[in-house]
């Protein structure tokens, strides 16, 4: 079945790196995404990676994809208090019409 798993909480100190992990089940997923949701707000697309890539870097964000283990991670370098939010991993399952399957989200708390 389709299921995206994430740990629910992560707490880091300001300036440290944060690593948020995600596992997915559909090996034929074409794109994998990371979204950020601040309290009471909508979802902001942070980055996405195509399934034939291993890594993607975008400023402070690094996405690593291990297709064999169906594992996706998001690393935030030099984490700031403004990074405190819920981070959702999502996949576009193979054969879908483009709809996304989301994990339950990881709540990142950044302590000063």
Partner 1 sequence: NAGVMQNPRHLVRRRGQEARLRCSPMKGHSHVYWYRQLPEEGLKFMVYLQKENIIDESGMPKERFSAEFPKEGPSILRIQQVVRGDSAAYFCASSPGSPNTEAFFGQGTRLTVV
- Residues within the interface to partner 1 (CB under 8 A): 4, 30-31, 35, 41-45, 48, 88, 90, 92, 96-105
> What is the rounded distance in angstroms from the CA atom of residue 21 to the CA atom of residue 38?
19
- Per DSSP, which regions of 26-105 are E strands? 31-37, 43-50, 55-58, 61-66, 71-76, 85-91, 101-102
**Among residues 15 and 50, whose Cβ is nearest to partner 1?**
50
Question: Minimal distance in Å, beta carbon 38 to partner 1?
Answer: 11
**Among residues 59 and 99, whose Cβ is nearest to partner 1?**
99
Question: Minimal distance in Å, beta carbon 44 to partner 1?
Answer: 8
Helices H / strands E in the chain, number of each: 0, 11
Question: Minimal distance in Å, beta carbon 89 to partner 1?
Answer: 9
Question: For strand 106-111 and strand 9-13, is the pairing parallel, antiparallel, or unpaired?
Answer: parallel
Question: Minimal distance in Å, beta carbon 35 to partner 1?
Answer: 8
**Among residues 52 and 112, whose Cβ is nearest to partner 1?**
52
């Amino acid at each position: 079945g389709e299921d995206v798993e994430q740990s629910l909480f992560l707490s880091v100190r300001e300036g440290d790196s944060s690593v948020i992990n995600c596992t997915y089940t559909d090996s034929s997923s074409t794109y994998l995404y990371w979204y950020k949701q601040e309290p009471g707000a909508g979802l902001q697309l942070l980055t996405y990676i195509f399934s034939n890539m291993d890594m993607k870097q975008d400023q402070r964000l690094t996405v690593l994809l291990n297709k064999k283990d169906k594992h996706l991670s998001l690393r935030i370098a030099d984490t700031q208090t403004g990074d405190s939010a819920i981070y959702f991993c999502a996949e576009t399952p193979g054969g879908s019409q483009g709809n996304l399957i989301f994990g339950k989200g990881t709540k990142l708390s950044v302590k000063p």
